């Protein structure tokens, strides 16, 4: 009798373990315009947490105590989808660039940040969180296009804040026709996607904490003459990732037609590819001139109106292809263009609510607008009152080094977090 009881206990323990493993092995899939997780449609309000791997390291810039506290805070408000940078590229000490960098030279990596990425994925798994990992950047703040061109022998990459935007854009427009630069990036893709986590001994391709690989942050053609080569590059990178990893979703990181030379047909083309699993857009009312620096409150309604139009235009294409659409970056400056943690966020919260509401409505009717990631999580960061822009030793927050610190960051103390929690509660009740 005792043997039977003992056998039963062992069987139940093994069964329970198998069940747990099955849950842990759940990947996000796409079916008929929906994200599917554990057999059910999945909608979310997530955030951008670009500095996650740096914060998770034990080297320069690392703070695992803060990292775990930030993840717990995010979990408490229902945020379980984080968009994270796998970078940056190039030398440290460059104006307006994130540091410490990940890839110091082609194929030469800062191991402490790789360890940070490993640790971050470990902690995300513990909390049933998902990561979107983006592998490149059009912009200078993490190296990206400019750095790969520099490594390919095209000379020093201009810095927009120093050398001007025109010089920067003229330089990076060379990327789409530079096979050497694109091959250096392809090598980076191979290195990261095929990586094995040192803490779990699990291959990244088998890690359910990863929801999707993303080709880049706001990848652009930077010129009419580059449209064809840009589209082919998106296709080639997506095919490479799929070959390396059949388990995870793949996305572009595109802004929408604002990031495809104003050509929505080009945006449609790159998202029609078989290996691109879902569609992305970014929305920036202030950057795009809808919101005015000296009258944020007065231009708020217009910003909301234009945002709704922008979403509708891209939704029509998402519905055509039955692929989910994610608004994976959007932001609105803190009230009166103030950057302190103490400044109000009343107008910004109204803008956020207008975006969140659309995701909630789609969750109710099982629409293709599947989620959003606000820009960006500042959490527990303390702003250095002596610095407008980030300097080495300052806390990392949602605003990268080229932006005024506090401009778009959502801090733990902001009332915004209460609204995020409420919308996530309502959205998840629909899932």
Judging by beta carbons within 10 Å of its beta carbon (0-12, 13-18, 19+), is residue 262 exposed, middle or buried?
exposed
| Model confidence pLDDT, tens digit, residues 395-430 | 999 999 999 999 999 999 999 999 999 999 999 998
With a cut of 60, say whether residue 391 has pLDDT above it: yes
Fold of 41-430: TIM Barrel (3.20.20)
Q: What distance in Å separates the CA atoms of residue 219 and residue 137, rounded to the nearest whole number?
A: 6
| Model confidence pLDDT, tens digit, residues 84-116 | 999 799 999 999 999 999 999 999 999 999 999
* Domain extent listing, the chain: 41-430
| Model confidence pLDDT, tens digit, residues 220-263 | 999 999 999 999 999 999 999 999 999 999 999 999 999 999 99
| Model confidence pLDDT, tens digit, residues 7-21 | 443 334 433 333 333
144-151 helix and 165-172 helix, angle to the nearest 10 degrees: 60
């Amino acid at each position: 009798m005792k043997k039977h009881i003992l056998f039963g206990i062992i069987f139940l323990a093994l069964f329970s373990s198998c069940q747990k493993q099955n849950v842990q092995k759940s990947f996000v899939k796409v079916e008929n315009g929906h994200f599917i997780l554990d057999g059910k449609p999945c909608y979310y309000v997530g955030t951008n947490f670009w500095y996650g791997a740096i914060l998770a390291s034990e080297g320069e810039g690392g703070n695992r105590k803060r990292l775990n506290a930030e993840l717990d805070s995010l979990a408490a408000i229902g945020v379980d989808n984080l968009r994270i940078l796998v970078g940056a590229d190039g030398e440290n000490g460059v104006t307006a660039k994130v540091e410490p960098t990940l890839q110091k030279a082609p194929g030469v990596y800062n191991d402490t940040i790789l360890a940070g990425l490993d640790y971050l994925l470990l902690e995300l798994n513990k909390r049933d969180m998902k990561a979107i990992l983006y592998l490149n950047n059009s912009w200078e703040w993490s190296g990206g296009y400019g750095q790969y061109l520099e490594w390919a022998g095209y000379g020093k990459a201009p810095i927009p804040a120093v050398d001007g935007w025109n010089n920067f854009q003229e330089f990076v427009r060379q990327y789409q026709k530079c096979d050497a630069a694109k091959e250096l990036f392809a090598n980076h893709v191979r290195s990261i996607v095929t990586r094995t986590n040192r803490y779990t001994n699990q291959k990244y391709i088998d890690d359910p904490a990863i929801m999707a690989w993303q080709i880049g942050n706001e990848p652009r053609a930077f010129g009419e003459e580059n449209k064809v080569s840009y589209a082919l590059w998106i296709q080639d990178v997506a095919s490479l990732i799929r070959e390396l990893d059949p388990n995870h979703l793949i996305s572009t990181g595109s802004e929408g037609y604002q990031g495809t030379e104003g050509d929505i047909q080009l945006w449609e083309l790159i998202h029609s590819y078989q290996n691109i699993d879902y569609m992305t857009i970014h929305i920036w009312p202030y950057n795009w001139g809808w919101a005015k620096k000296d009258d944020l409150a007065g231009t708020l309604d217009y910003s909301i109106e234009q945002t709704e139009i922008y979403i509708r235009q891209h939704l029509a294409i998402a519905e055509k292809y039955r692929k989910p659409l994610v608004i994976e970056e959007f932001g609105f400056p803190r009230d009166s263009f103030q950057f302190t943690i103490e400044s109000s966020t009343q107008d910004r919260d109204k803008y956020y609510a207008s975006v969140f509401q659309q995701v909630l409505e789609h969750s109710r009717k099982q629409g293709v607008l599947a989620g959003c990631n606000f820009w960006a999580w500042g959490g527990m960061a303390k702003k250095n009152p002596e610095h407008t822009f980030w300097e080495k030793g300052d806390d990392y927050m949602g605003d990268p080094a080229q932006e005024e610190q506090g401009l778009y960051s959502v801090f733990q103390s902001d009332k915004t977090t209460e609204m995020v929690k409420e919308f996530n509660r309502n959205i998840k009740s629909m899932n």
